[in-house]
Structures are given as structure tokens and as C-alpha cells.
Amino acid sequence: MHKVVVAGGSFAGLTAAFDLKRRLGSDVEVTVISKSDQFVFIPSLIWLVPGWRTESQISFPLAPSFQKKGIRFVHDAIARIEPERNLVHTTNGAEPYDYLVVCTGPYLNFAAVPGTGPEGGYTQSVCNLPHAQIARRRWQEYLRDPGDIVVGATQGASCLGAAYEMALNQAYALVRAGIRDKVQVHFVTPEPYVAHFGLGGIEGGEAAVTRLLEKNQIQVHLNVAVDGITPDKIRLSNGEEIGYRYAALIPPFMGIEAVRNSPGIGDAKGFIPVNDYYQHSQIDNIYAAGIAVALASPDPTPVPTGAPKTAYMSEIMARTAAHNIAARIHKEKLSPVPIVDIQALCLLDAGNTGVFFMVDRLQRKTRRRTIVMPGPMMHVGKFMFEKYFMWKSRGGRTYLP
């Protein structure tokens, strides 16, 4: 029996594990290793901060879902990968593998901009559940003594859609709290223009998002890096200083420490170089999907932005990796899916409205189709997608769109 280890239990990890077991059945033993025992629908963390969602509404335990499909679950942190011996070392042991799929998500590189982050810094984050819980507590404290807000992303950040969602949802939360007229909301971004998103923008996207920002009276600071942060001021690369009472900034991502501690596995930032089969470019029985994959920016900018990696992209990568591992085991034809050819889908929420974006290719010069649809139904659509995705993932129905 072939042994496949999936490192990570979020969007890419779930998809890879369930797809592998469904394709290979009794021919494979699938083991998932995750430092978290919960799946968290990370796009909804923006709603956790103002109290519009609870943890139980946007998460579920991983072990029961995997157990029902005959997948072994190991609740442990990965320490390093030893490809010479086909071993994944964890905090408490080691797991052998014939094939490894790395779906470990990001390391939040707050050290790139000193003063960022909820632990040792002055800014909040919605990149994971523990940080969103801290951000909620700080928000509750903030409402007792409000002042100006700074929201956005630092140089090198890649999750730029979430930065816009944070700003727009915080502005809407101020309206609901009855204090919007007392607060200036600032949006800080390394992008050269609104809705660049690290991929060269989307036709019609800049106008749609600009309207939302203007409607919510959000002051935008474009094409800037964050040079320094104190407990009450943020200094930008253009010389501006912004005072604040509450700040939330998306940091740049790196690969997790375990990959960076494993020579030959990742690049300088700890991301894994892959070919069009999501197979490691040098080690043929290691695959990767999601944020763990090395991806060059499709549109370099004066102030660096990271390449976008959405949940949808993570699913496609994981499905492709699972398909090709199964194909190798069954000696069938492999199926390439170049990263630049993956569609990028985004439902950008603005509290009570939103915008849907779709591009058929990451690289702007090769795109054939784009969709930009603003309106209140996009907020409803994101809410419904959350419910659908949680149902799909809890039941292992990763074959569904």
C-alpha cells in the first residue's frame, strides 16, 4: 500500500487528502498532519472581528471528517522534511511517506516591518483564527475609546483583497456602532493603483473598488511602504505620518519554518518550486499546493506586492497534485495545469455590499475573459459561499466546484 502524507489541513490540504483517498481508495494510506485540529474558513475572519460571526460558525474539527473517509489524522506541528529518507519530522515523532504533499500555508513575516503584528507589535491581523480573536478583543476595547483607523497591507503582502475587505468592513462596523462621523479611516497599500491586487488589476475593477472606498469615505494611500510603526503613529515611505487608535495590516508571507529548516525543499523565502504538475522541481515524490507554492508576481510593482494565492487557486493546485499522484500510482497520463492559467476568483465583501471578480488567467496580457460584478448580492453571495464551502469540506465533497 502506498503511503501519502499531506502536510496541512486548510483549503489545499483538505482537497488533496480527500481527492487522493477518493481516487485511490484501498491502494493508499493517506495521513494528514496539521498543527491545528480545526478547519477555519479564513475569508470569514473579517466578520469575526466586529462580532458578526463566532468561531463555531466558521470552523469544524478535522479528525471526524477525515475519519469518516478513512484518512488518518495527526494533530502535530511539522519540524522538518528529510527527503533522503522520505520522512516528515514532527514535534513528537516522524511520519514516513512514499509521496508528500506540502499544503502548509503561510508564515506571517511580521519581522519584515517592525511594529506590525498582534504579538510584539501594534497592529492587528485576520490571517489566522488566533490573531482574529485578538483583533476582536482590541476592537471591543477600541469602541470604548474610538479614534482614527489605519487598515491595509505592508510592502510585499500578497493577500491584498483581504486588506480591502478589512477596511470596508471596519468602516461599515463604525456605521453600525453609530460613530462613523467621528472616525477617519485610512487605507494603506503598496499597490500602484486601487484594485491592482498584485496581478496587474482587472478591467473595471479599479472603478468598482474606488466607488466603494469613496462611498465609505476611506482615505487611500497608494504606492507606499510602511517605514515604521509606533503605538500611535504609522510612518509611510512618502514621508506621511498617520495617527491611529486601531490598525490592522496584512504582512508579507513566507514559507513555514519547517520548510525553511529543510535544505533543498524551498526557495530563499521557504516557498516550494513546482512544475505544472505541482511536483517539486527537483524531488519527484514531493508535491505542493496553495500558499506553500513558489509563485512569481505576474505584475511587478514599484513598491513590492506579492502574487495572489486565493482559496480557489489552492483547491485547483491540490486537485492537480492529487490527480497526478494517483496517475503515477496507476501508471496513467499526468495532467499539467500551469499556475498562470488558473482562474482567479474573489468575492470582495464590503459589509452590506461587495464586488465579484473573475479573471481566466493571472497574467493580464494573456487574459481572454474578466468579470467584475458589484452590488449587495455579492455580500449575500459570500455569505452563501461560506455555508456551501463549510458543508462541502466537512463532508469531504471536494469533487464539487
SS3 state at 46 = helix
DSSP string, 54-74: -GGGSEEEHHHHHHHTT-EEE
Verify whether residue 103 is a known catalytic residue: no
Catalytic choice (14, 20, 108, 159): 159
Verify whether residue 159 is a known catalytic residue: yes
What span, in angstroms and rounded, lies between the C-alpha atoms of 327 and 348?
Answer: 36
Catalytic choice (346, 347, 359, 372): 346
Other C-beta atoms closer than 10 Å to the C-beta of 207 total: 12
What span, in angstroms and rounded, lies between the C-alpha atoms of 136 and 131?
Answer: 9
Long-range contacts of 39-42 (CB under 8 A, 24+ apart): 39/9, 39/10, 39/14, 39/65, 39/393, 39/394, 40/10, 40/128, 40/129, 41/386, 41/389, 41/390, 42/10, 42/11, 42/126, 42/127, 42/128, 42/129, 42/311
What span, in angstroms and rounded, lies between the C-alpha atoms of 363 and 202?
Answer: 10
Active site residues: 159, 346
